[in-house]
């Protein structure tokens, strides 16, 4: 089946390559499209720029969440489930494609798609970048041009039918999700499933940090959210200690203590991480701060310092033996 017609949108043409089934999906704010796509240049060779199948992951878009390439929501809204369609889009609709593609490629590579961004809006980011890091995308950014999108729509889900990613939640949804995630994390800790628990605590922190970004630092709204963040970060760090991710603990506890330098629990977890990676001086300093800030933890600190001393003595003996062995080996050469 093949049909060519103009969408009721300036600068767009659509060709149906394979018909879909049923009626056009009923969309609402928060509906989710899942689809595969190819992006091609409008040249004789129809040069392929991106192909989601090659990247190994389908694309998802949430309706009404201001996806940078707004035309895609319009294109998908014209499709039935199972339909494959080709869309020609004029340059007025494709100017943001280089930035969208950059983010998708970085995700496929396991990298942070937002790394290096200094602005939240797409146009701000366009001016901020001297290079996307990809030669073909730099060319598109310098010379916006018509592009061809071939899309296959798999699924359209109502907001209630799927677990919404943190970024797609409203303020109320994020606030409601935090205690649920906290409770799920605690339950997983009791089952000693520390990696899964850490993921729950981390997701809750992300919800709160997103909300904090809209508040003025150190004012009431920001501080209320920060009071919820702190115990979640500490729980996350405890999971990372159990998993042996000591440098992760050092990073997060240090960041927490830069804001809250009287938090004894943060010092305690940082001290344990320092001890685990043989930072004896730093560990002792942090344990001493804990005893000073919270005398009720003095017994725990005394126990940890005793264990640290024993571990360090054992390490010194082993190091001495190792050096002696190396010296004797070099003497025999």
Each residue of 70-105: pLDDT tens digit?
A: 899 999 999 999 999 999 999 999 988 998 888 888
Pair 163, 30: CB distance under 8 Å? no
- The Cα 213–Cα 122 span in angstroms is 18
Q: What is the mean pLDDT of residues 23-49?
A: 91
Residues 6 or more apart whose CB falls under 8 angstroms from that of 107 comprise 57, 113
**pLDDT of res. 114:** 47
Residue spans per domain, the chain: 4-157, 171-322
Question: Looking up tokens 């961004």, which residue turns up?
Answer: 117
Q: Which fold has domain 171-322?
A: 1.25.40
- The Cα 189–Cα 324 span in angstroms is 44
**pLDDT of res. 206:** 87
Residue 155 dihedral angles phi and psi, to the nearest 5°: -150, 145
- Indicate the CATH number for domain 4-157: 3.10.50.40
**pLDDT of res. 326:** 60
CA 170-72-33 angle, 5° bins: 55
Q: What is the mean pLDDT of residues 228-244?
A: 95
User: Does the pLDDT at position 148 exceed 90?
Assistant: yes
**pLDDT of res. 91:** 93
Task: Name the nearest CA neighbour of 270 among 114, 228, 261.
Answer: 261
Beta-bridge mates of residue 131: none
Range of weakest confidence among 36-45, 60-69, 197-206: 60-69
pTM: 0.53
What's the pLDDT tens digit per position in 105-129? 877 766 544 454 433 344 344 344 4
């Amino acid at each position: 089946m093949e049909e060519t017609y103009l969408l009721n949108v300036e600068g767009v043409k659509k060709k149906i390559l394979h018909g879909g089934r049923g009626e056009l999906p009923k969309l609402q704010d928060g509906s989710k499209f899942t689809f595969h796509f190819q992006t091609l240049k409008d040249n004789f060779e129809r040069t392929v720029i991106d192909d989601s199948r090659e990247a190994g992951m389908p694309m998802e878009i949430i309706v009404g969440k201001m996806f940078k390439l707004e035309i895609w929501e319009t294109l998908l809204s014209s499709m039935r489930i199972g339909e494959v369609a080709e869309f020609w889009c004029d340059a007025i609709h494709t100017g943001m494609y280089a930035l969208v593609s950059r983010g998708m490629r970085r995700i496929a590579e396991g990298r942070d798609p937002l790394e290096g961004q200094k602005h939240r809006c797409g146009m701000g980011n366009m001016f901020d970048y001297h290079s996307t890091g990809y030669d073909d995308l730099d060319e598109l950014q310098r010379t916006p041009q018509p592009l061809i999108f071939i899309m296959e729509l798999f699924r359209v889900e109502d907001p209630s039918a799927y677990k919404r990613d943190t970024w797609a939640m409203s303020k109320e949804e994020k606030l409601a999700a935090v205690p649920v995630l906290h409770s799920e994390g605690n339950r997983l800790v009791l089952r000693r499933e520390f990696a899964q628990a850490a993921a729950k605590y981390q997701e809750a922190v992300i919800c709160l940090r997103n909300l904090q970004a809209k508040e003025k630092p150190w004012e009431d709204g920001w501080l209320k959210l920060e009071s919820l963040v702190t115990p979640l970060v500490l729980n996350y760090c405890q999971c990372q200690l159990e998993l042996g991710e000591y440098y992760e603990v050092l990073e997060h506890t240090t960041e927490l203590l830069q804001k809250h330098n009287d938090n004894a629990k943060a010092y305690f977890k940082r001290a344990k991480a320092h001890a685990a990676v043989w930072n004896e001086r730093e560990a002792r300093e942090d344990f001493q701060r804990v005893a000073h800030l919270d005398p009720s933890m003095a017994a725990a600190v005394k126990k940890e310092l005793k264990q640290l001393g024993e571990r360090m003595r054992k390490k010194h003996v082993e190091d001495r033996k190792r050096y002696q062995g190396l010296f004797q080996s070099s003497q025999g050469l």
